[in-house]
Amino acid sequence: MLIVCCRGQESAGIVTSNGASPPLYAIHKGMGLVNSTFREEQIQKLRTGNLGIGHTRYSTSGISGLQNCQPFVVETLHGKIAVAHNGELVNAKKLKMKVLRHGVGLSTSSDSELITQLLALTPPKEEADTPDWVARIRNLMTATLTSYSLLVMYKDVIYAVRDPYGNRPLCLGRLVPVSKFDSPRETDTESETEGWVVSSESCSFQSIGARYYREVLPGEIVQISKHGIKTLDRVPRPGGDPPAFCIFEYVYFARPDSIFEGQMVYTVRRRCGHQLAIEAPVDADLVSTVPESATPAALGYAQEAGLPYVEVLCKNRYVGRTFIQPNTRLRQLGVAQKFGALSDNFAGKRIVLIDDSIVRGNTISPIIKVLKEAGAKEVHIRVASPPIRFPCYMGINIPTKEELIANKPEFEDLAGYIGANSVVYLSVDGLLSAVQEGSKSLRPNSIISNGDNDSKSSPKQIGHCTACLTGKYPVELEW
């Protein structure tokens, strides 16, 4: 089974296929977390197939409802296809008009349905009885350059696709025999591969007995079948533009044990902490973290500053991630339930509290209040990323400038507003330095295998989207 994980908690869906001609699809979707949506009865139904794609939704555009739950399945001239999408199209309105002019009705408010319908359109030179899926995918990629990682399932084949700017992550993994999983990676041989898996993040592979293989490159179309994987095409960016991988993945969104651009997210976050300590030192007694995504940065800060790292907050692990809750009230209620103070560790002491980001300012103020009420002498906030000043239109839920704390009058005295003794953010240059320091092996003059059956090679450029920090979007936005 091949599954793309889009890292949301609002809804989940899986579509499997038996690979026949025509294929028999089994589908189950539901609102809520995976463990509440899929019971044994549904899992048994899905096991009738030998390949499949799945999706967990985190809504950025379109309402949070069952009608927008993915994967989408539609009938085309050549049979059914199933599509799972992670990202957000920057020219969705224009594409919607294109689809409607072709006489195609839309049943959801999701731009992911637009992608599905665009793939169903017949390319000009396609043979009547032979679908040209590379041409169809290329047409889509030409019509919209970002932001998407896709899985497209047709009969007994799955196509893994990443937009030309590589804004959203996508990676490949190999299912290895159970007998080999605990053995050194160096002893692996590709001939022992029992199947292929695809995910937004490599951290998901270990739990299913798979090993990270490589990233899908920006603009790459990878075919996955019973014969293995093969690169079918690579769609270039216009004008020699650099890639634009979302830098917020490193800051917050990704799990720390995931691998992007040849480096582990944890390591990048620790480097951010080192850089933050250089840029923003403070007289204090200890360094701590807002758990858990800021912990690597706090450890890096403590090491560079020569201060002890001490836990000051106890996290309630039954409360989900507050950033990706769909509205402010739910985020605020989540914070109130999320943390308790370990007062014996810090009473009467000056704390440097590291956070990964302060976006809306909803979460940090009550945390500072908890610490000071529990006996902290001072609380100095250090943020391991720059201020978020601009909306994201490419798949992160930062929809308006007005809700960002960095654009509010209170930002002029942010420390006073949130109750801290001081607040300093990491600089944009500092973040880029921390992120790109470990990507040197993947710069334009280097070569990496593209992983197809012909063992060809292609250059890999490094570039990052910093639009939420700088307002410089990788492509022109169309409304």
pLDDT value at residue 397: 75
How many separate helices (H) and strands (E) can be counted in the chain? 14, 24
**Residue 356, marked binder:** yes
Whether 366 is covered by a domain: the verdict is yes
pLDDT value at residue 240: 84
**Residue 392, marked binder:** yes
Whether 89 is covered by a domain: the verdict is yes
Give Cα separations from 190 to 139, 378, 451, 452 (angstroms). 33, 55, 11, 12
pLDDT value at residue 381: 98
Higher pLDDT, 418 or 193: 418
Instruction: Return d(Cα 384, Cα 298) in angstroms, integer.
Output: 9
pLDDT value at residue 245: 96
Residue 42 pLDDT class (50, 70, 90 cuts): confident
On the question of a cis peptide bond just before residue 71, with omega within 30 degrees of 0, the verdict is yes
Q: What's the CATH code of the domain at 157?
A: 3.60.20.10
70 contacts 4 by C-beta, under 8 angstroms? no
Whether 293 is covered by a domain: the verdict is yes
pLDDT value at residue 451: 39
Instruction: Return d(Cα 56, Cα 86) in angstroms, integer.
Output: 9
> Are residues 278 and 236 part of one domain?
no
Whether 468 is covered by a domain: the verdict is no
8 contacts 59 by C-beta, under 8 angstroms? yes
Whether 53 is covered by a domain: the verdict is yes
**Residue 69, marked binder:** no
Closest CA to 396 of 451, 341, 467: 467
Residue 456 pLDDT class (50, 70, 90 cuts): very low
pLDDT value at residue 60: 58
> Are residues 165 and 293 part of one domain?
no
Whether 136 is covered by a domain: the verdict is yes
Structure-block tokens of residue 286? 């200890």
Name the most confidently modeled range: 31-45, 232-246, 342-356, 465-479: 342-356
pLDDT value at residue 258: 95
Collect all residues with Cβ–Cβ distance below 8 Å to 142 and sequence separation of at least 6: 235
Rg (CA), the chain: 23
DSSP 8-class letter at 38: -
> Are residues 90 and 222 part of one domain?
yes
pLDDT value at residue 91: 92
> Are residues 275 and 161 part of one domain?
no
> Are residues 302 and 233 part of one domain?
no
Structure-block tokens of residue 205? 């592979």
Whether 440 is covered by a domain: the verdict is no
Question: Rounded mean pLDDT of 7-31?
Answer: 85
335 contacts 306 by C-beta, under 8 angstroms? no
Residue 279 pLDDT class (50, 70, 90 cuts): very high
Instruction: Return d(Cα 259, Cα 190) in angstroms, integer.
Output: 20
Its domain, for residue 350, covers 263-432
Residue 32 has pLDDT above 80, yes or no: no
Question: Rounded mean pLDDT of 105-115?
Answer: 85
pLDDT value at residue 460: 52
Instruction: Return d(Cα 406, Cα 400) in angstroms, integer.
Output: 12
Count of CB atoms situated within 10 Å of the CB of 129: 7
Residue 185 has pLDDT above 70, yes or no: no
b/e burial code for range 419-444 (CB count within 10 A of at least 16 → b): bbbebbbbbeebbbebbbebbeebee
**Residue 203, marked binder:** no
Count of CB atoms situated within 10 Å of the CB of 462: 19
- Percent pLDDT > 70 in the chain is 85
Residue 275 has pLDDT above 90, yes or no: yes
pLDDT value at residue 335: 55
Question: Rounded mean pLDDT of 192-210?
Answer: 91
3-state secondary structure 202-253: HHHCHHHCEEEEEECCCCEEEEEECCEEEEEEECCCHHHCCCCEECHHHHHH
Structure-block tokens of residue 450? 């593209």
Domain count, the chain: 2
Q: What's the CATH code of the domain at 269?
A: 3.40.50.2020
Give Cα separations from 154 to 19, 118, 150 (angstroms). 8, 15, 13
> Are residues 290 and 154 part of one domain?
no
> Are residues 396 and 293 part of one domain?
yes
Lowest mean pLDDT among 297-306, 329-338, 426-435: 329-338
pLDDT value at residue 5: 52
> Are residues 230 and 130 part of one domain?
yes
**Residue 132, marked binder:** no
Instruction: Write the pLDDT tens digit of every residue in 353-385.
Output: 999 999 888 789 989 999 999 999 999 999 999
> Are residues 326 and 234 part of one domain?
no
- Percent pLDDT > 90 in the chain is 56
Instruction: Return d(Cα 479, Cα 464) in angstroms, integer.
Output: 23
pLDDT value at residue 201: 94
> Are residues 332 and 221 part of one domain?
no
**Residue 36, marked binder:** no
Residue 333 pLDDT class (50, 70, 90 cuts): low
Instruction: Write the pLDDT tens digit of every residue in 307-332.
Output: 999 999 988 776 555 444 555 555 55
Whether 180 is covered by a domain: the verdict is no
Lowest mean pLDDT among 201-210, 421-430, 450-459: 450-459
Question: Rounded mean pLDDT of 272-300?
Answer: 96
Higher pLDDT, 119 or 42: 119
DSSP 8-class letter at 51: E
Strand 149-154 and strand 171-175: the pairing is unpaired
Lowest mean pLDDT among 20-34, 70-84, 139-153, 353-367: 20-34
pLDDT value at residue 454: 39
Mean pLDDT taken over the chain:
86
Question: Rounded mean pLDDT of 58-81?
Answer: 77
> Are residues 65 and 122 part of one domain?
yes
**Residue 272, marked binder:** no
> Are residues 124 and 33 part of one domain?
yes
pLDDT value at residue 303: 98
pLDDT value at residue 59: 60
Instruction: Return d(Cα 357, Cα 385) in angstroms, integer.
Output: 6
